A and B are shown apart, each in its own frame.
Chain A
Amino acid sequence: MADKGLASIYTDKTGIYKHREWRGLKDTAYDYKMWCGLWGTLLKWALGHPVTNVKALFRYRWMFDYLKVPSFYDRIMEGARGAALKASRNNMNALAVSVTDLLDTLFEADLHLHPGDEKAIKAGEKILPVDELIPALIFKGFPDLKPILWQEIPEYLPSLINCHSPEYYIAQTESYGLPADVCPLPVTELGIAIDDDYPVVAAKGFVSCNMPCDGSIMTSALQDRRYQLPTYPLNIPLRWKRDDVQEYAIAELREMIKFVEKQYDTKYDWDALRAAIAIWNEQVELRREKWELNRTDIPPHTGSTMWLYSIFEHQVTGGETPCLENDRKVNAYLREQVSNRECPKVIKHRAVIWNTPANMYANFNAWILNCWGVDVVADMIDFMGFDTIDTTSEDTILEGLAKQIQGATMRVHTKGGIHVMFDDLWAKVAEYNADMVIMFDQISCKGVGAINGLFEEEARKRGINFVWVKQDLFECTSISRRDMREDINDYMSLVMREEPLDPSLVDFDDSECW
């Protein structure tokens, strides 16, 4: 099978595996065990509230995407061996546990599924819907509430699991007259609102925010119109690296806390927050260790499962014990492999990926490693949550949280002035000893698109291999996965004049693949 190449196990167009991937006896057995573990989590969840879950399946278009999770997991850890496989499987299975818990919380209170039901209303009154860009750690100070990053379940995760998931919702928004050049992420969020496909709960308030970009600011306003809840629009400074804007950021957090206290008639619990921050601080240390290990000549865990888990941890599970326990376990695997000087993969190039990853091709990192031996040792989206939080006083806590929130996913690089994103790229190239930069040209991202030339000129000056890969984040109809592969294939064959490690992966049709 190795001779035939990895693509030989794909069904044409859909990419569905004809059979499981053979990774050698030990790794295949481990992979199978963890795959069964995933099914266990899913079945436990499905059978926990079978009627509600079936109702949800028929009520929400995006729910069907969660049925594709096992296939998605296989795709994004394709080719992984050793510690990378263990880390990937453990990370993703931990994520599955957390998401199924969230689904339970959400559906229990969902008035779409339980119209007029007293129990659902009561459960909903404890739910605090929050924009998905606000890291949830700060809400650990409300232990009696259940903060839910509102767009994460219906929008963000499905867009990763099934690249065709956003198409319908994007069409909903554009049919109202929104231009098609806007970033498809906020467009999808809005489409779900227009289609009334967000759960409806008896929440008492909503916390929106101005992150990460102009499109998101505007979609918040429109979603607000749909939710019809008292809203606190959290404003985070854009020039967030400056010391003199921190006062504003902290004042905004204080006001937000007051808003939630008032709406939910509750009190902010600083001790509960301190306990969560202690967990978070250890998570940060473990994340730093992961980065450190990937700086070695035998990077143990690279790829999509690394950044995907990282986003989830920063935004959702920061300050949660199960996540910390998973981190400890995963880091032990990675540490062991590096200390044994093992590297169960072929690395021809060490690459840094810059700009936001394409949700519609979450397994891009796996593909480029398996096909061309390009190991993405550093991914822009993975770098956030650098600092631990000082819990000495309420002021130091808020100071730390303000920094953590301002440095949320994506905007940690795309806001704060050009040097935040620009300088950090070259710093990462040096730190990770990379010989290649894969620059995602996310065509509808105007904030980054407007400085494309600066990156291009600097790369030329530095003489680094700089590959532009066009993508459209959520939209696989404008730029397909195959188009993205073509950008790489052209560069590797025409500029680098290299032969692929696995020729079967160079070109294949996955147009109907989830």
Chain B
Amino acid sequence: MKDLKHIHFYEDLLEQANNELVQQAKSEGGVAVGYTCFYVPEVLLNVGNAFSVRLRAPNTGSLDISQYYMSSFICGYSRALVERAFEGGYNFLDMWAGTDTCQQMNRVVENVVEFRLIDNPTFTHGFLDAPMKITEHGNKHYEHMIQVEFLDKLKDNFGVDISDKAIRKAVKEHNEMCKIFEAISELRKAENPVITPREFHILCLVSYACPTSLILPYLKETYADLKKRKPDEKCPWRARFVVVGSELDDYTFSEIMESCNAYVVADRYCFGSIPGRKQIPLTTDRPALEQVCEFYLAENQCPRFMSKDKIEERHAIARKLYEDYGADGIIYEQAKFCDFWGYERMLENAKFLDDGDDIPVLQIDREYVIAGAGQLRTRIQAFVESVEIKKIQKAGGAK
């Protein structure tokens, strides 16, 4: 297939956190708010003149400094963020919307704040204490925390408009973007899709890493291009997988999948499109903030949710994606040293085994910087082959 429109521009944007569009938004008076977790409602950071940047640490090399300050048993993403902050890579941030949802990420923000790593005199931060199950009082608590830790701080420190009207406007724009992703995601259901896993991963990443209002026009053009695009005559994909797991902001992962002729049909991981690129329904009878908060808690599929209903829901969603997208298997990926996903991949593997309907599941752990991960390639290759063998066996071929 010929190159997708703007794909090289997107690749450039992903080369640094403070990318061209972030710089443009800042120069236009925007307030840059960094965040790292789905628990932080992205759309609420895009109210008024504020804009969200989901933080990445592209081109991470040595992690010597952060390793010294954080020990070597901390997840690579956390260490990379601290390392990059030490290097001054996040000085463009006006605020860090931190979360106490994962203890390592919580400590990232604490290190950043305590060591004053952001060289910006107006820099501020907030911490979100979020529930691990859905209840009425939990929703209230969550909404309160978002109000006082993020919205009020945006208003008080930067004069950002956080009114109901501003929230509704942000949701409208967010939904416009999500609509594009929902449509592109549908394209992945085709037998020989017109978009590659790498391309989809890149689109998704830029949508998180750039101001929504500035990336949206490009995404629209890319989608228009996709609608006209013709796939290669010969379908290159040997197997189709749902990828479920933890933070994954390096599209090298999808490149490795491609190199094994494995197609990612659904991306249910942090920085993925499911559920992050799902439209938020709003009604006019209740405050927008309340509805947005409810939506983010309800859609959140972090393994941190510990109530039985949510555990079952996570399992059911993985299964549904497998069925809806015509997948051949599920890959559970875990950022090395992530406690939540370390347990979750083990639990899910056991659950799928117990279900007894023979859905192939692969569990992998990976470093934050994926490039050169030969072991990962070997494991995916082996998984593709095992799935192919199963298909042959099911079709009555070789036993």
Contacts and interface: CB of A to CB of B under 8 A. Distances in A.
Nearest to B131: A235
Given A239-B127, A446-B104, A447-B104, A217 B70 contact: no
Contact of A239 (B129, B311, B349): B129
A447 B103 contact: yes
Contacts of A449: 70-71, 73-74
B340 A446 contact: no
Contact of B303 (A182, A218, A443, A454): A218
A214 B340 contact: yes
Interface in B180-227: none
A416 to B, nearest CB: 9
Interface stretch (A19-27, A60-68, A219-227): A219-227
Interface in B15-54: none
A251 B137 contact: yes
B148 A244 contact: yes
Contacts of A225: 347
Contacts of A294: none
B69 interface: yes
Contacts of A176: 346, 349-350
Contacts of B337: 179, 181, 446
A204 B138 CA distance: 25
Contact of B111 (A177, A251, A454): A454
A221 B343 contact: yes
Interface string A224-260: 1100000101010111001011011001100100000
A453 interface: yes
A450 interface: yes
A417 interface: yes
Contacts of B144: 244
A418 interface: yes
Given A447-B107, A449-B74, A218 B343 contact: yes
A178 B141 contact: no
Given A181-B337, A214-B102, A217-B132, A233 B307 contact: yes
Band of interface residues on A: 35 or more
B306 A221 contact: yes
A182 B137 contact: no
Interface string B317-357: 00000000000000000101101101111110110000000
Contacts of A313: none
A454 B343 CA distance: 29
Contacts of A414: 103
Contacts of B114: 418, 454
Given A238-B100, A248-B141, A220 B74 contact: no
Nearest to B311: A221
A251 B139 CA distance: 12
Nearest to B114: A454
Contacts of B127: 239, 417
A218 B349 CA distance: 15
Contact of B346 (A177, A231, A252): A177
A417 to B, nearest CB: 7
Q: Is the interface of B mostly helix, strand, loop or mixed?
A: helix
Contacts of A417: 100, 110, 127
B339 A182 contact: yes
Nearest to B314: A221
A177 B70 contact: no
Nearest to B107: A450
Contacts, number: 152
B363 interface: yes
A414 B107 CA distance: 11
B311 A247 contact: no
A237 B129 contact: yes
B254 interface: no
Nearest to B350: A176
A451 interface: yes
A159 B145 CA distance: 38
A208 interface: yes
Contact of B70 (A178, A239, A444, A450): A450
A213 interface: yes
Contacts of B342: 178-179, 181-182, 218
B346 A446 contact: no
Interface in B124-177: 127, 129, 131-133, 135, 137-138, 140-141, 144-145, 148
Contacts of A450: 70-71, 74, 78, 103-104, 107-108, 111
Given A176-B350, A453-B68, A218 B308 contact: no
A217 B307 CA distance: 10
B377 interface: no
A261 B116 CA distance: 50
B365 interface: yes
Contact of A181 (B73, B107, B108, B311): B73
Contacts of B304: 214, 217
Nearest to B142: A248
B142 to A, nearest CB: 9
A363 B133 CA distance: 39
A183 B103 CA distance: 13
A456 to B, nearest CB: 8
Contacts of A183: 339
A217 B311 CA distance: 12
Contacts of B311: 221, 224
Contact of B129 (A178, A224, A245, A418): A245
A232 B286 CA distance: 30
A378 B346 CA distance: 39
Interface in A178-195: 178-179, 181-183
Nearest to A212: B103
B343 A222 contact: yes
A452 interface: yes
A22 B1 CA distance: 85
Contact of A215 (B131, B137, B343, B347): B343
Interface of A: 176-179, 181-183, 208, 210, 213-215, 217-222, 224-225, 231, 233, 235, 237-239, 242, 244-245, 247-248, 251-252, 255, 414, 417-418, 441, 443-444, 446-447, 449-454
Return the 7 tightest CB-CB contacts between A and B, nearest first: A453-B69, A450-B107, A218-B343, A447-B103, A449-B71, A251-B137, A248-B141
Interface of B: 68-71, 73-75, 78, 100, 102-104, 106-108, 110-111, 114-115, 127, 129, 131-133, 135, 137-138, 140-141, 144-145, 148, 303-304, 306-308, 311, 334, 336-337, 339-340, 342-347, 349-350, 363, 365
Given A446-B74, A452-B71, 8 more contacts: A179-B334, A238-B129, A248-B138, A251-B135, A441-B71, A446-B339, A449-B70, A451-B69
19 contacts: A177-B345, A179-B337, A183-B339, A221-B306, A221-B347, A224-B308, A224-B311, A225-B347, A235-B131, A248-B137, A255-B135, A414-B103, A417-B127, A447-B106, A450-B74, A451-B110, A452-B71, A454-B69, A454-B115
